[in-house]
Structure 1
Amino acid sequence: MNLQQLRYVVATAEHRTMTDAARSLYIAQPALSRAIRDLERELGMTLFARSGRGVVVTSQGRRVVKLAREALDAVREIEGLASHGGAGEAELRIAATPSLEPGLAGRLLPAYASEHPGVRVHIVRCEGREAVVSAIRDQRADLGLTDLPVPGDLITHPLERQEIVLISPPGLELPNPVPMARLHGMRLALPARGSVRRRELDAMFGKFAVSPVVVLETDERNGWLNAVRTGQASLLWYRGMAEQAARAGLVVRSLDPAVRRVIAVVHTRRRLPLIAQDFLATAERGTTA
């Protein structure tokens, strides 16, 4: 067993597919699968089980993943000490949702990398705000980028207010911006019932006394966009998805009145590593520039 194998195990657990985990590690997917199988044979246990197109962590695997994260955290602490002494490379882990990751990668990371070229930034991809919070609490990430609100045990650093827009298939006769009243009876793809995101959208519908027709209920973002691409429904989401939607030939419109959510960097109530403090400083400078 070695540190590389532990990194492979943690990445596979985080990404839930071998393909995505291999991409994040910059290795070929067959090489990752082979390394995981070799480790399972060495340990005499199954760490991951196939589930559809992805994998799930087994009960034995959960314990291994937890210990692997703790071991890698300890290694990072040691590497951090070395890097501040002028050697080695430090790693900063940032949890982000798919809808906010493009802004992180396109704007914040280049600014940070130009000032701190010796730091490797690893993005922990999370399906929604609750997953970002979990990644922070479990110390799988040093910082998180998400919309507010988050639980009160986390520290927040607001960066911007991002607009919620209507993403629709072409051909719909709608004004821009779209009055809230026009959402009444509109066919929409929505997050799963009971999720935080769904409760927030339902509260917005109640505030404006509108009742859309729910065509699809899922937390799978590809499912939302596929529903819009095939003309089945429209979608309410952040303007950060507008570029991806436009490339797919979809139409993006504002709402009237406008609806915005505060986007923030979040972390636990503990002393942050210096590289995380530096990232916060870069992000906050970018919001005031």
Structure 2
Amino acid sequence: MTDAARSLYIAQPALSRAIRDLERELGMTLFARSGRGVVVTAQGRRVVKLAREALDAVHEIEGLAHHTGASDAELRIASTPSLEPGLAGRLLPAYAAEHPGVRVQIVRCEGREAVVSAIRDQRADLGLTDLPVPADLVTHPLERQEIVLISPPGLELPNPVPMGRLHGMRLALPARGSTRRRELDAMFGRYSVTPTVVLETDERNGWLNAVRAGRASLLWYRGMAEQAARAGLVVRSLEPAVRRVIAVVHARRRLPLIAQDFLATAEKGTTAA
């Protein structure tokens, strides 16, 4: 159960609770407790077999509809600005090559919480964001992306930058109280560093403008490195390295076939990489 919960990026108690709710709804026992954990019951194996057959049938029906109206199909993907270049530059071309009749709309979201809201409000079929996300969403991890220090030129810093050198450093940070700010503050606490906060905002252009003006440095994903380098900024790794899992996420419901096809393309690219 612990391994299954970890692979789904949810807490183990949440997974156990979901299984109990399903067993209660069906009125049968799907898993039996044993000395080594849990085992699937005979009823559970039968349910899995029938469920797979039913889902395969649904998939075939969706396939008929998809091929009938492929030219009208539209896939909506919510993404944060820092992850959009990777989506547009790598995932979308691979998907378009295999599914040329599908239009893709990128729903631009300012942060992880906005991606989650877009999916919950059904303004997007899929989302691209970093983890963690709430347990009501399904996650498909794609890669681990490094967090780097983006600085104005002229700073005398090694590469990689030891965490201790962040103490007193002038930084542009997300707004106080936001999820991302809490995560960065927790990281600072782990390494006993206190930066000098020059700017607090969730507006990413504001961060980069502060760095361009020489007012502050910025902690963000390496995916922004190319944009930062074009602006004449310096990108350095941290020591120890800090990485976050990037994933495609969606609601716990049957996905449209075009969304399933995108997941298959994304996961194929991850395997190839």
User: Scaled by the length of structure 2, what TM-score is found?
Assistant: 0.76
Displacement after TM superposition at 1:88 (Å): 3.0
Q: Deviations over 1:94-115 (max 9, x none)?
A: 0000000000000000000000
On the 8 A contact 1:160/1:264 being kept in 2, the answer is: yes
**Matched position secondary structure for 2:70:** coil
On the 8 A contact 1:69/1:140 being kept in 2, the answer is: no
- Percent identity reads 92
Q: Output the CA distance in 2 between the equivalents of 1:134 and 1:177.
A: 36
Q: Confirm whether residue 185 of structure 1 aligns to residue 168 of structure 2.
A: yes
**Partner of residue 197, structure 2:** 214
On the 8 A contact 2:85/2:223 being kept in 1, the answer is: yes
**Matched position secondary structure for 1:278:** helix
On the 8 A contact 2:73/2:101 being kept in 1, the answer is: yes
Displacement after TM superposition at 1:37 (Å): 52
Displacement after TM superposition at 1:174 (Å): 0.2
On the 8 A contact 2:8/2:139 being kept in 1, the answer is: no
Which residue of the other structure, out of 224, 233, 241, is the alignment partner of 2:207? 224
Unaligned runs of 5+ in 2: none
Q: Output the CA distance in 1 between the equivalents of 2:95 and 2:265.
A: 6
Q: Output the CA distance in 2 between the equivalents of 1:35 and 1:216.
A: 42
Q: Output the CA distance in 2 between the equivalents of 1:125 and 1:47.
A: 41
Q: Output the CA distance in 1 between the equivalents of 2:198 and 2:48.
A: 38
On the 8 A contact 1:82/1:88 being kept in 2, the answer is: no
TM-aligned CA distance change 1:21 to 1:180, over 3 Å: closer
TM-aligned CA distance change 1:199 to 1:261, over 3 Å: same
Q: Deviations over 1:158-204 (max 9, x none)?
A: 00000000000000000000000000000000000000000000000
**Partner of residue 4, structure 1:** none
On the 8 A contact 2:9/2:139 being kept in 1, the answer is: no
On the 8 A contact 1:126/1:132 being kept in 2, the answer is: yes
Displacement after TM superposition at 1:84 (Å): 2.2
Runs of 4+ in 1 over 4 A off after TM superposition: 18-83
TM-aligned CA distance change 1:81 to 1:115, over 3 Å: same
On the 8 A contact 1:160/1:287 being kept in 2, the answer is: yes
Q: Output the CA distance in 2 between the equivalents of 1:164 and 1:119.
A: 33
Q: Output the CA distance in 1 between the equivalents of 2:37 and 2:215.
A: 26
Unaligned runs of 5+ in 1: 1-17
Q: Output the CA distance in 1 between the equivalents of 2:210 and 2:9.
A: 31
Displacement after TM superposition at 1:240 (Å): 0.4
Displacement after TM superposition at 1:85 (Å): 1.5
Q: Deviations over 1:103-136 (max 9, x none)?
A: 0000000000000000000000000000000000
Q: Output the CA distance in 2 between the equivalents of 1:49 and 1:226.
A: 58
Q: Output the CA distance in 2 between the equivalents of 1:174 and 1:53.
A: 52
TM-aligned CA distance change 1:265 to 1:253, over 3 Å: same
Moved more, 78-87 or 258-267: 78-87
Q: Output the CA distance in 2 between the equivalents of 1:155 and 1:38.
A: 17
On the 8 A contact 1:148/1:261 being kept in 2, the answer is: yes
For the aligned residue pairs, the C-alpha RMSD in angstroms reads 14.5
Moved more, 85-94 or 199-208: 85-94
Moved more, 98-107 or 74-83: 74-83
**Partner of residue 26, structure 2:** 43
User: Scaled by the length of structure 1, what TM-score is found?
Assistant: 0.72
Q: Output the CA distance in 1 between the equivalents of 2:39 and 2:121.
A: 18
